[in-house]
Structure 1
Amino acid sequence: MPFVSAPPSTVHYEVDGDGPGLVLVHGVGGDADRAFGNFVGHFSGDRTVVRPNLSGSGQTADHGGELTVDLLVGQVTAAARAAVDGRVDLFGFSMGAAIAAATAATHPELVRRLVLVGGVADTTGPRARFNFEFWRDLAATDFGLFKRFGTLQGFSAATLDGFGHEGLAKSLEDEWPPGVARQIDLASRIDIRDLLPRIQAPTLVIGLGCDQMAPVEQSRVLHTGIAGSRLVELDGDGHMDWFVRPDEVAGLTRKFITGASA
């Protein structure tokens, strides 16, 4: 359970495996285990896999105020440099994809390759702002209802039916990070479009065709803004389906980070 200082934060992160560095960045309501528990094993056999807990998750501590993209970028870079000697491949999911992209833009010396899954570039538009403000209000009013709504938004209909009645009921027992409200607030005001042209690392963007949380159009914005990036769209997938079936995203990621020259 290592920690690293990233003023004004103390960042809690997890490290698994040994080899070239791969840093995994979670999104709203995620943490090192909740987002990547079914994913890390695909890489820890031959990679040093670093999973920082962003503010609001795990045991990471900060000033307790409003979160910013810059603050979370500092946490990602601190954990990466503490755990790995040299450049890393960077994988970001959801809001974590925006943080990963901003990290690659502002710290090009650190990032070798970049993978963005179900990501967002701009949440300031009417639909996105409306959605995240509804999350905020619902979480503050009845967190149990918020969890149920998040499950409905997060998974495709086919995946939800696959859980079955008992599986869906059990999913509501899942523990969410204590600082999710602060993460929702940041998610409602992200706009990294001006940073995208600064990204130098080869980039793979994976869009999720049935994504209600980060609509696939956001992945297209990321792809258009990052010169030379590659876009793959998984047509039937909801935002969090890959948590349950990580093989396809893991395979695309491994092929990308190992298949081209550094």
Structure 2
Amino acid sequence: MSDPILFIPGLLCTEALFAKQIVAFADRPIMVADHRQHDSIEEIARGILDQAPDRFSLIALSMGGYVAMEIMREAPERVSKLALLDTNSRPDGQDQADRRRFLIEMTRKRGFTKVPHLLYPGFVHESREEDEDMKAIVVEMAHDTGPEAFIRQQTALIDRIDSRPRLGEIACPTMVLVGDGDRLTPVEISREIHEHIPGSELVVIEGCGHLSPLEAPDAVTKTLRDFLNRA
């Protein structure tokens, strides 16, 4: 039997992010990680490892990718294949950290209702900014995550380390995937990860933004299937 698949969603995302991929890989055991309970990347990674199978293929997007890189530092022997989607190996810059703090304060003082709507345009390709069906999915995932978990996630992201120095230690087969219109983690950010991980491959999905499994489910699923089935 093929190894189980462990999915780690991004900020404010739930298993709905990977809905099409979960169906496509129904012949394998699947786990979707809970990344809502802790306020540091290290604690999130350890909590996931405590619940995960002994060995698994790891597919992670954005914030999930930050957690995946921590898993690769803590337990690389447990990961058979790694797919890093629309993510970043760098720490937050000052502007990014300040925006996260602003959103945390906004959530605490004025509530959470508007936050998903503010974030939505950055999550998708520019052609989908007015896609109300896509927006409804993103907003629903955010509200399923909730304000308290959002604050914990943002705190974890502010405090995360620079993963670049240890990317060269990743030895399992690795794919780095990104949408060509990703405005949060642009193609050059994924190319940097690819260049740091020996033997990795870089895949760019056309007409796609940051939430690639949701925006381009067929292309992403086919790419992941080819990667996971490769000897």
TM range (shorter): 0.7 to 0.9
Q: So what's the TM-score if we normalise by structure 2?
A: 0.86
2:21 is equivalent to residue 39 of structure 1: yes
Decide which of 33, 36, 40 is 1:55's aligned counterpart: 36
Q: Which residue of 2 aligns with 1:75?
A: 47
Decide which of 142, 145, 165 is 2:114's aligned counterpart: 145
For the residue of structure 1 that corresponds to 2:52, the secondary structure is: helix
**AA at the equivalent of 1:26:** P
Judge conservation of contact 1:101–1:114 (CA < 8 Å) in 2.
no
2:71 and 2:205 map into 1 onto residues whose CA distance is: 25
Higher strand proportion (structure 1 or 2): 1
Q: Which runs of 4+ in 1 moved over 6 A?
A: none
Judge conservation of contact 1:205–1:231 (CA < 8 Å) in 2.
yes
Judge conservation of contact 1:156–1:241 (CA < 8 Å) in 2.
no
Decide which of 210, 234, 250 is 2:181's aligned counterpart: 210
1:8-19 aligned within 5 A: 19=2
Unmatched runs of 5 consecutive residues or more in structure 1: 1-17, 57-61
State how many pairs are aligned. Answer: 226
Judge conservation of contact 2:40–2:157 (CA < 8 Å) in 1.
no
**AA at the equivalent of 1:248:** A
Alignment RMSD: 2.4
- CA deviation vs aligned residue, 1:86-144 (integer Å, no higher than 9, x gap): 52111011110121122123312101110000112113224433443343344333422
1:55 and 1:161 map into 2 onto residues whose CA distance is: 28
Change (3 A) 1:202 1:120: same
Judge conservation of contact 2:60–2:85 (CA < 8 Å) in 1.
yes
Judge conservation of contact 1:118–1:219 (CA < 8 Å) in 2.
yes
2:118 is equivalent to residue 136 of structure 1: no
Q: So what's the TM-score if we normalise by structure 1?
A: 0.76
2:150 and 2:94 map into 1 onto residues whose CA distance is: 22
**Aligned-pair CA distance for 1:255:** 0.4
For the residue of structure 1 that corresponds to 2:82, the secondary structure is: strand
Moved more, 198-207 or 104-113: 104-113
**AA at the equivalent of 1:135:** L
Q: Which residue of 2 aligns with 1:186?
A: 156
2:106 and 2:212 map into 1 onto residues whose CA distance is: 23
- CA deviation vs aligned residue, 1:37-66 (integer Å, no higher than 9, x gap): 33310101x21111121233xxxxx6xxxx
Judge conservation of contact 2:45–2:70 (CA < 8 Å) in 1.
yes
2:106 is equivalent to residue 124 of structure 1: no
**AA at the equivalent of 1:55:** R
Change (3 A) 1:35 1:173: closer
**Aligned-pair CA distance for 1:24:** 0.4
Q: Percent identity?
A: 23
Higher helix proportion (structure 1 or 2): 2
**AA at the equivalent of 2:128:** T
Q: Which residue of 2 aligns with 1:196?
A: 167
2:212 and 2:67 map into 1 onto residues whose CA distance is: 21
Q: Which residue of 2 aligns with 1:105?
A: 73
Q: Which residue of 1 aligns with 2:201?
A: 230
Judge conservation of contact 2:86–2:212 (CA < 8 Å) in 1.
no
2:58 and 2:136 map into 1 onto residues whose CA distance is: 34
Change (3 A) 1:131 1:34: farther
For the residue of structure 1 that corresponds to 2:129, the secondary structure is: helix
**Aligned-pair CA distance for 1:227:** 1.3
Judge conservation of contact 2:90–2:164 (CA < 8 Å) in 1.
yes
**Aligned-pair CA distance for 1:254:** 0.9
Judge conservation of contact 2:17–2:213 (CA < 8 Å) in 1.
no
**AA at the equivalent of 1:156:** H
1:39 and 1:213 map into 2 onto residues whose CA distance is: 22
